[in-house]
Amino acid sequence: MASVGKIARRTFLIGAAAVAGGVAVGYYYYRKPFPNPLEAELGKGEATFNPYVKIGADNTITIVAPRAEMGQGISTTLAVMVAEELDVGLDRVKVEHGPASYAYYNAAILEEGGPFAFFDESMTAQAVRSGLGVVGKFLALQGTGGSASTRDGFDKMRQAGAAARQMLIAAAAQKLGVAAADLETADGSILHKPSGKSLTYGAVAAVAAAMAPPAEVRLKDRADWKLLGKPQKRIDMLAKVTGAPIFGIDVRLPDMLYGTVKMSPRFWSRPVKADLSRAEKMTV
Amino acid sequence: MRLTVDGQSFDIDADPDMPLLWALRDLIGKTGPKFGCGIAACGACTVHVDGQPVRSCSLPVGQVNGAVTTIEGIGTAGRLHPVQQAWLEEQVAQCGYCQAGQIMSAVALLDEVADPSDADIDNAMGGNLCRCGTYPRIRSAIKKAAALKTAGL
């Protein structure tokens, strides 16, 4: 957490420059979205709508929650934001961390990096916050910390779910030859009530994902939330009670090498000499 | 050296001084038990030897005379042990790193005492630390597991 604070303070200078006028120069770049990293790793029959949603032809729905799960429950929280707008239950989706990518940059982690308290709503504080948010895009740090993940994801993740849902509805309207306005969604399916016809998300995913994302993404009214704002079961609980290999220490890669830090058994004492001759002879 | 782990027999080539935890994780591939402190002070590495909870990080594998049971041997995702079921229902874990050890200590406790009191729980679980501080949920999950076990679930 301290290192996040340090990085943020250092980048504050860049942030101040951005506020002072640098933003205009890079505005086009800032508006341009990063490429979707999921394109590169789709399975057979899978289609991706944006960096947060993949849907398979078999209607397997995968949500990417690209923050480090440390027990704070962020993988569940972020998945719920997408699931809410996508109109699927949390038990119907697979949640993955996804690849490392600039697309998953955390803007909010820097927003509070300025020398202001979070409750400071002065114009300077707000200007620096928005400036640092822009810097977040340029630095594109995929970071978890500073209680930023929920704030960063709240709009982004809901928009990802809502955009995918709108594209699925548009594809279904085309396929069924009906008006999009007459279609409803529930639990991973699209329903045309007047005719009683329905399609799974998976059945139209490939066509839907090839469509242009909606220019205007409509988010649900708070009153219509089914999942958000309500307690949820953690998606990682089963793995954690069965001893599944989900921790860094459990990762095994081919030809993995192991290293360790040799430290003094006493506090504050520095090494006087080190014989590295045997280590240096090792071949890797 | 032969070692029986979770009902399966393994032939391993290990220095008898190697901690049991290393043999389990590095040689046999049972990564359920975790390395925490390495000095038997935290309980993350807890496994059973003939039903008794032991700290596998500090027990030389050469001294193991009995069948070893790890978190991977008490139940599976499709068929949970009552203690795992209770842990799931009570949503005990946060980061989860200590929970394999917590669950193994709880399983051993309930094998000894069917309906443990708060004092029994404190005694049996005192050696398992949780930095997330999930202790209140661990206590209620143990009580729920006791009820599940008594009901034969």
Residue A247 counted as domain residue: no
The answer, for A179 touching chain B at a CB cutoff of 8 Å, is no
Flag if B84 and A245 touch (Cβ within 8 Å). Answer: no
Question: Measured between alpha carbons, how far is B35 from B51 in angstroms, rounded to an integer?
Answer: 20
Which of A65, A268, A41, A37 lies closest to A161, judged by CA? A65
- The answer to whether residue A284 is domain-embedded is no
Query: What is the pLDDT at residue A28?
Result: 54
At A163 the pLDDT is 96
- What's the CA gap between A137 and A29, in Å, rounded? 9
Residue A106 maps to a domain: yes
Burial of A99 (0-12, 13-18, 19+ CB in 10 A): middle
Q: Is residue A274 part of a domain?
A: no
- Which residues fall within 8 angstroms of residue A23, CB to CB, at 6 or more apart? A30, A131, A134
- Amino acid A224: pLDDT: 96
What mean pLDDT is predicted for residues B48-72?
A: 98
In a domain, A271, yes or no: no
Q: How far apart are CA A281 and CA A274, in angstroms?
A: 15
Q: Is residue A246 part of a domain?
A: no
Summarised one tens digit per residue, pLDDT across range B33-44 is 999 999 999 999
Q: What is the pLDDT of residue B153?
A: 65
Total tally of structural domains belonging to chain A: 1
Task: Note the pLDDT of residue A30.
Answer: 54
Domain CATH code at residue A217: 3.30.365.10
The verdict on residue A281 lying in a domain is: no
* Contact between residue A161 and residue A219 where contact means Cβ atoms under 8 Å apart: no
- The confidence score (pLDDT) of residue A271 equals 83
What pLDDT is stored for residue A120 in this prediction?
79
The partner residues of A185 in beta bridges, in order of sequence, read A190
- Using DSSP, state whether B19 is helix, strand or coil: strand
Encoding tokens for residue A70?
A: 């440390």
In a domain, A227, yes or no: yes
- Asked whether residue B62 carries a pLDDT value surpassing 60, the answer given is yes
Q: Determine the residue of chain B that is closest to A71 in CA distance.
A: B95
**Would you state the pLDDT for residue A73?**
96
Structural domains in chain B, CATH included, are 2-74 (3.10.20.30), 82-150 (1.10.150.120)
Instruction: Tell me the residue range of the domain where A231 lies.
Output: 2-241
pLDDT along chain A (284 residues), means of 10: 43 44 48 84 93 96 96 97 97 94 85 74 80 73 89 95 97 97 96 96 97 93 96 96 95 87 85 88 80
Shortest CA gap B3–chain A (Å): 20
Helix (H, G, I), strand (E, B) or coil at A42: coil
Q: Which residues of A touch B80 (CB under 8 A)?
A: 241-242
pLDDT at position A262, please? Answer: 81
